[in-house]
Amino acid sequence: MDTQNNRNFVILGIGIIIGLASLGFLLRNAAITYKEYERTVTVKGLAEQEHLADVVIWPIQFTEANNQLADIYLDLEKSEQKIKDFLIENGVSEDEISISTPFVTDKSAQQYGGADNPEYRYVANQTVTVYSEDVIQVREIMSKLAELGKQGVALTGNEYQVRTEYLFNSLNDIKPKMIEESTKEARKVAQKFAEDSNSKLGKIKTAYQGQFSISPRDNNNPHIKNIRVVSTVVYYLSD
């Protein structure tokens, strides 16, 4: 009986040893596999396109000066009408035109700055703004502004608040294609890295879409927009 029990204990012990050895082998292989899967490469892919702006906001500021307050408002109305007529004659629709409230300065009421005896007591600024989706047409009209000067309209500009703005509002239409392009570029870089390191490119571990940026192509062409996005992708590598 004791002999039988001893034999059973020996068999049980051998089984435990074999089991532990097998478990250790499996764990070792699992650790190696896990380590292989943790080999990664992080790459970036750039997508870049140029597009014409689809909205233009064009402020046309003009100035009048007079010694009579009532007269300066009449002068403003005349110049305002000349600008509106000029725009409509050149193809701008009336609903694309808005008029700001006049800003009138009384030089004699100013305590600081300015001349002691200004030539004109009242100086007024007003702005006619064009908001249009026909960017090319509006830019052509801009080149004809000298016609307003010949009509006696005193145009002012070069101020920050009256700069022409060009907007690109169609980003959602091109987003999917640009993200696809940036992801493909990232994969090309990752594939080249894998080949140079004698590795195989695996699946994507993580991917991050960068912010889209919209900027003028250059200072001379603010109506042409440069749109770009950078995607960051992490790939697994294996031998």
Please say whether the beta carbons of 207 and 182 come within 8 A. Answer: no
Question: How many domains is the chain partitioned into structurally?
Answer: 3
Greater confidence (83 vs 5) lies with: 83
Residues 60 and 163 in one domain: yes
Of these ranges, 13-17, 34-38, 111-115, 136-140, the one predicted with the greatest mean pLDDT is 136-140
- Residue 111: what pLDDT? 55
The two structure tokens encoding residue 211: 């912010």
Helix (H, G, I), strand (E, B) or coil at 98: strand
Structure-block tokens of residue 135: 């960017």
Statement: residue 60 has pLDDT above 90: yes
90 and 119 share a domain? yes
CA angle (192 as vertex; 191, 197 as ends), nearest 5: 100
| Listed residues 167, 182, 198: the one ending a domain | 167
Within this chain, do residues 62 and 162 fall inside the same structural domain, yes or no?
yes
Same domain, 11 and 47: no
Q: What three-state secondary structure class fits 216?
A: strand
Give the global pTM. 0.76
> Residue 108 — very low, low, confident or very high, per pLDDT cuts 50/70/90?
confident
Q: What is the pLDDT of residues 111-136, one digit of tens each?
A: 555 556 778 899 999 999 999 999 99
Quick one: average pLDDT of 12-19? 55
**122 and 95 together in one domain:** yes
Residues 206 and 131 occupy one common structural domain: no
The pLDDT of residue 31 is 40
105 and 175 in a single domain? The answer is no
Domain with 195 in it: 40-52+169-239
Query: CA nearest 141: which of 217, 88, 74, 215?
Result: 88
Query: What's the pLDDT score for residue 34?
Result: 47
Of 9-13, 22-26, 53-57, give the range with the top mean pLDDT: 53-57
The CATH number assigned to the domain holding 128 equals 3.30.70.2970
Same structural domain, 232 and 217: yes
Q: Tell whether 68 and 157 lie within a shared domain.
A: yes
- Tokens 């250790």, residue? 24
Percent of the chain whose pLDDT exceeds 90:
65
Distance CA 203, CA 190 (A): 11
Are residues 177 and 162 both part of a single domain? no
Where a domain ends, among 167, 183, 202? 167
